[in-house]
Amino acid sequence: PENFAMATTKLETFRCMMCGHEYTEQVEKGEDKERSCPKCRSNSIRHLKKKPPAGG
């Protein structure tokens, strides 16, 4: 099927530890590449985990 790529990528949120910029990026499953901030070009990037919904 044409949409098989949808299952192997997901939208992840990242935060730059230098300037605080948050951004989302498509990430392939199993991908572990070095990232840089699109705003300040720092490579001090932290992957933000999604918090579970409140009241669960």
Residue 56 belongs to a domain:
no
In this prediction, residue 44 has a pLDDT band, given cuts at 50, 70 and 90, of very high
Which contacts of 18-21 are long-range, i.e. CB under 8 A and separated by 24 or more positions? 18/42, 18/44
pLDDT of 53 reads: 63
For range 32-43, the mean pLDDT: 94
Q: State the residue range of the domain holding 23.
A: 4-48
**Residue 38: inside a domain, yes or no?**
yes
pLDDT value of residue 40: 98
Does residue 54 fall inside a structural domain?
no
User: Measured over all CA atoms, what is the biggest interatomic distance in the chain, rounded to whole angstroms?
Assistant: 42
Residue 26 lies in a domain: yes
What's the rounded mean pLDDT across residues 6-34? 89
For the chain, how many structural domains are there in total? 1
Does any domain span residue 19? yes
Asked if residue 53 is part of any domain, the answer here is no
Domain contains 55: no
Chain-centroid distance of CA 36 in Å reads: 11
What average pLDDT does the segment 44-48 reach? Answer: 94
